[in-house]
Every structure is written in C-alpha cells, then in structure tokens.
Chains A and B, each alone.
Chain A
Amino acid sequence: MSATTDSAATVPRTVAGSQRRRRPLAAAARIAQPIALGLLGFAGLMALWALIGTQSPDLPTPIEAWEALRTVLASPFHDNGPNDKGIAIQMWSSLQRVFLGFGMAMVVAIPIGFAMGASKIAMQAINPIVQLLRPVSPLAWFPIALVIFKDAPKAAIYAIAITSVWPVAINTAFGVASVPQDHRNVARVFKFGRWRYVRQVLLPYSLPSIVTGMRISMGIAWMVIVAVEMLSGSTGIGYFVWDSYNAGNNATVCAAIALIGAVGLVLDAGFGWLLRRVTYMETA
C-alpha cells in the first residue's frame, strides 16, 4: 500500500522533470540518430562482407583489412624504390595526374561550353561530337594516347583530361544557354557593355552549372584514374591496388579501396563547398 502511494506521488515529478529536459534531449537525438544509423549501416556491410568471406576463403576478413589499413597508414610516406612506396605517395601521384588532366580539360571545356551555349552555330557543329564521344569509356582512349605520347603516365593524364571534358562542356553550355530573357533585358536596357555582361550576368548565372559539371567530372576522373593506372603501371593508387593483388595482399587491396573512397569523398565535398559558394538565391 505504502509503495503504491509513494510511486503515485513521484510520477508527476518525473513527468515534469522529463518535460524540462526534453529539448536538449531532442537536440542530442537529432545528432545521435544519423550517426547511430550510419554506424548500423556500416555494421551491416561488415556482416555481409564476413558472410561472403565464409564462402570465399581467399577474401580477407574485415579484421584483416583493418590490420592492413593500419599497416599502410603506419608509414604512408616511405619510398624504397619503384616497387615499395607508401600509400600517401601513391595517392599523391594519382591526385597529381587527376588535377593535371582535370585542369587541362577545364581550359578546353569551359570555352567550348561557352561557345556552345552562346551560339547556335557552335552548338550544332560541336554537339554531335560531344554526344558521340561522351559515352566512350576513357580507357578506350588509352591506346590512342600511348600512340601519341609514347609514355604511359602521360597517356593516363590524357585519359583523365578526355574524361573530364564532357560533363563540364555540357553543363557550361546548358548554364550559358539558359540565361533568362529578363537578365538579358536588364543588361540591354541599362547598357551593360559586352564584357560587363559576361562578367556580371553570364558568368554568375552559369557558375553553378559550371561547378556542377566540374563536380561530376572530378568524380568520374577519380574513378577512372584507378583503372587507368592499372594499365599504365609504375606509380599511383591504381597501380598500388593492382600490385597488391599480384603480390597476394588482398587485405591491402581492401584497405586501398577504403582510402580511395575517402579521398573521393573529400574531393566531392570540396566541390560541394564551392557550389554552395557560387549559388545565389533566385527571387522570382
């Protein structure tokens, strides 16, 4: 009897207490929930991996891959000749190729995109080429590049460049072509010169499209570099993956996959940040 009265007396107090604490709790839950679900997703992936491992004995287990990852990250910068370089050095040589090829592509693709977007004639002349070559795997260009440059690393850069051209050219053309009549009329009525029109209307209007194109290009380029380096050999993260496989270090291959993903994530986040910087709010 006395126990019941006690609990009855404490109930309202508990309710009041939880109400007072609800707000910070909800805030904590908002942060904790996505983290918890994300971790849960990863746990599911590991379970699936382990399950497949029971059927395929050569597949390294998640634990082995984790050990390999720690080993690779223990000395990322060592350089003991062409066949033994740290993962950071390999990653860096891949990134250099990607940036170089990507940069070359931008120099070509942005002007082409501007021409296509601004002129019907340029669009009709160039668009068929773009549409025909865009679906071609960049690896198909590798032999052609080898013939031209007679040098595998240079050919790899060329393959990256050709990969990166199309999304940027197409997105730039789209952005430039879709400048609203309203904005053009403003430039005409208030006598903006040609250069000011490009700088203050055309460029700011199409910048989000251009950066979106760059983001797509960079994503593809980072995927393609791994494949290209498996062909070109000697250095780079793709070569590292292939070399590890040939040496039977499949756990290292798994570790490399995780690191390639992480670097790709950072590259994408960088362009995501850039995109937010150049995006404006439309009012109408």
Chain B
Amino acid sequence: MSLTIDGVRLSFRTKAGTQEVLRGVDLDVAKGEFVSIIGHSGCGKSTLLNVVGGLIKPDSGGVTLDGAPVTAPGPDRAIVFQNYSLLPWMSVYKNVFDAARCSRPDRSKAETADVVERYLHATGLWAHRHKRPSEISGGMRQRTAVARAFAVGPKVLLLDEPFGALDALTRANLQERLVELWSHESETETVLMVTHGIDEAIYLADRIVVMANAPLPSIAEIIEVDIPRPRVKAEMPSHPGYQRVHQRLVELLEHELDVPAPMAAVA
C-alpha cells in the first residue's frame, strides 16, 4: 500500500496566537518502504504521524492510501504510541485481543485468537499474557504495544518514537524484532517511524525524512539509506553508506537545523 502526503498544513491556536505546526508537507512512501522521520522536538513529526493515522485533521492538504483519502483511523494503519498507551486495567492478552477484534470485525473470533497468539509468541509475551501492564517491564509494555499494532494486520504501521523510553539493550533487541516482524512475519508492508535517534533511523530505514522547526516546519531534506538488507547492526558503522548518511544527519541536526537555545539568543 503506497502512502501519499500532499501539501499538509496545520496550525494550532494557542493563547500566544496561531502557531504553525506543519507548513506544506509533501511525501510519497512506496509500498514496502520503511521511512524514518527525524527532527528536533517541536518540529511537528509526531503531529504528522497523527495526521497519517487519521487522529488529527489537517487545515489543508491531505493523506491518501493507494489513492483513497484518509479521514479517520482505520485498520489499514495501526499506531504504536510513544508512551505505550496500554489500558492499565486489562491484561496483556486482552489489550491485544480487543484491539485486534474491534479493528477487524471481518475476522472470526478464532482467527483473531490465532493472530493474537502468533504475535504474542513473536514478541515473547505469551508466558506473560495474563499480567497487567503494571506488572511487566517497560520493554515488555512496548512489545505489547507492538504486538497490538501487528495483530490488527495493518498494511501501514505508524511508530511514534516507539523505543525512546527504553534502555539501549532493550531498544536494540526490539529494533531487531521489529525488522523481523516487518520483513518476514507480518502483512505489514510500509512503516513510518518517528524517532530522534540517528542510529535507529539509519539502522531501520530505507529513507530518512529530516524535518525542520519553525519558521519553516516542514521537510528539510530526504536522505536515502543505501545499505542492503538484511543489515547486521554490528557491521553497520563500517559501511561507507552508513558513514555518509550519519555525517549528513549530524550536519543537519547539529548545525543547519539547530534550534538556537534561549540563552544563546540573549547573548
């Protein structure tokens, strides 16, 4: 399923006046592509993801999936939220099962149960399925959120800084799990992931979309990641493609698009 973001503009009204969050964002994501969106805090990258998810309506412009306009959330797009967003009064199993069941009324109950069991196994949560979110670790919560999204069987997966709150080891494990699920074990074709980890973006993505903050909150540059898959994380840094992309991202994020700190502005 191909995804087209066309001229999306959005501003929020605040007490201080109208603040432009997205100014004319255009992006085409091909079927089967993994795209990372990176940028400083407040560049509107999460907002863009929510527009694609159908949670926020843009002021103008729009999103289409295989030509069909996105107006609301739908089972073709599942979101993994930044803070897991599991329902704390439900077990791991019920969090995943109910989401899958509600999103896909076309599947029978037994089919849904099969799918849920498959993804709970794939994310290593089957043994913990009866536990509540408060009884498991942060990494397991995030795996539950990933399992929930995959269990819907979305063609497009939207990830909002999914691993930001995790320790490095857990993050690395989950990144690998995510690639395996996306490339071999699911119906998911296209992934759009918001991140602010440079290494994470390069390891996972085919293309990296760099977004700029105000006064021009939009896409600043799109960088191709020319590293063949399957990628081995440990060998990545020695790849010439990696070094080129890494250097360009650092240039952009630390110099060209650097947000002046308030202290610097005063001086």
Residues in A lying within 8 Å of B, measured CB to CB? 182-183, 185-186, 188-193, 196, 200-201, 204-205, 280-284
Asked if B87 and A204 sit within 8 Å, CB to CB, the answer is: yes
Chain B interface category by residue count? 20 to 34
Q: Which of A182, A189, A201, A204 has the most CB of B within 10 A?
A: A189
Report the Cα distance A283→B74, complex, angstroms: 26
**Residues 80-102 of chain B, each 1 if its beta carbon lies under 8 Å from chain A, else 0:** 01011111111000000011101
Smallest CB separation, A237 vs chain B (Å): 38
Question: What distance in Å separates the Cβ of A191 from its nearest Cβ neighbour in chain B?
Answer: 5
Cβ-neighbour of B132 out of A185, A192, A196, A280 (below 8 A) = A280
User: By DSSP majority rule, is chain A's interface helix, strand, loop, or mixed?
Assistant: helix
Asked whether, in the complex, the Cβ of A190 is within 8 Å of the Cβ of B152, the reply is yes
Q: Can you list 27 A-B contacts (CB < 8 A)?
A: A182-B83, A183-B85, A185-B55, A186-B87, A188-B73, A189-B53, A189-B78, A190-B73, A190-B98, A190-B99, A190-B100, A190-B102, A190-B103, A191-B75, A191-B103, A192-B98, A193-B102, A201-B87, A204-B89, A205-B89, A280-B132, A280-B134, A281-B88, A281-B132, A283-B84, A283-B88, A284-B83
A284:B84 contact, CB within 8 angstroms: yes
In Å, the complex CA distance between A281 and B86 comes to 12
Task: Flag if A185 contacts B85 (CB, 8 Å).
Answer: yes
Q: Which of A186, A192, A280 contacts B85 (CB 8 A)?
A: A186
Chain B contacts of A182 at CB under 8 A? 81, 83, 85
Q: Do B98 and A200 touch across chains, with their CB atoms under 8 A apart? A: yes
Given contacts A185-B79, A280-B132, 19 further A-B contacts (CB under 8 A): A185-B81, A186-B81, A186-B87, A188-B55, A189-B55, A189-B78, A189-B79, A190-B73, A190-B99, A190-B100, A190-B148, A191-B73, A191-B75, A191-B102, A204-B87, A205-B89, A280-B88, A281-B134, A282-B88
- Interchain nearest-CB distance for A189 vs B (Å): 5
Most buried by B among A183, A190, A204: A190
Collect the chain A residues with CB atoms within 8 Å of residue B100's CB.
Answer: 190
Judged by a CB distance under 8 angstroms, whether B141 is at the interface is yes
Q: How far is the CA of A190 from the CA of B75 in the complex (A)?
A: 7
Contact between B79 and A183, CB atoms less than 8 A apart: no
Is B133 an interface residue, CB under 8 A from the partner? yes
CB proximity of B82 to chain A, nearest CB, Å: 9
A281 to B135, CA, bound (A): 9
Closest 6 CB pairs of A and B: A281-B134, A190-B99, A280-B89, A204-B89, A182-B85, A283-B133
- Given the known interface contacts A185-B55, A189-B78, A190-B152, the answer about A283 and B102 at a Cβ–Cβ threshold of 8 Å is no
Nearest residue in B to A192 (C-beta to C-beta)? B102
Q: Nearest residue in B to A197 (C-beta to C-beta)?
A: B102
On chain A, the residues within 8 Å of B132 by CB distance are: 280-281
Taking the closest CB of chain A, its distance from the CB of B92, in whole angstroms, is: 12
- A190 contact set on B, CB distance < 8 A: 73, 78, 98-100, 102-103, 148, 152
Q: Is the CB of B102 within 8 A of A186?
A: no
Asked, given contacts A281-B88, A284-B83, whether A186 binds B134 with beta carbons under 8 Å apart, the answer is no
CB-CB under 8 A from B135, the residues of chain A are 281
Q: Which chain B positions have C-beta within 8 A of A189?
A: 53, 55, 73, 78-79
- Give, as a whole number of angstroms, the nearest-CB distance from A20 to chain B: 36
Inside 8 A of B86's CB, which chain A residues have their CB?
Answer: 186, 283
The interface residues of chain A lying within 8 Å CB-to-CB of B78 are 189-190
Find chain A residues with CB under 8 A from B53 CB.
189
Expressed in whole angstroms, the minimum distance between the Cβ of B110 and any Cβ of chain A is: 19
Q: Which residue of B lies closest to A203 (CB)?
A: B89
Distance between Cα atoms of A284 and B85 in the complex (Å): 8
Chain B nearest CB, measured from A92 CB (Å): 36
Judge whether A283 and B141 touch: CB under 8 Å. yes
Please state if A196 and B87 are interface contacts (CB–CB under 8 Å). Answer: no
Q: A121: shortest Cβ distance to chain B, in Å?
A: 21
> What 0/1 pattern do residues 107 to 149 of B give for CB contact below 8 A with A?
0000000000000000000000000111100000100000010
Q: How far is the CB of A47 from chain B (nearest CB, A)?
A: 47
What is the bound-complex CA distance between A182 and B102, given in angstroms?
Answer: 17
Which residues from B are CB-within-8-Å of A282?
88, 134
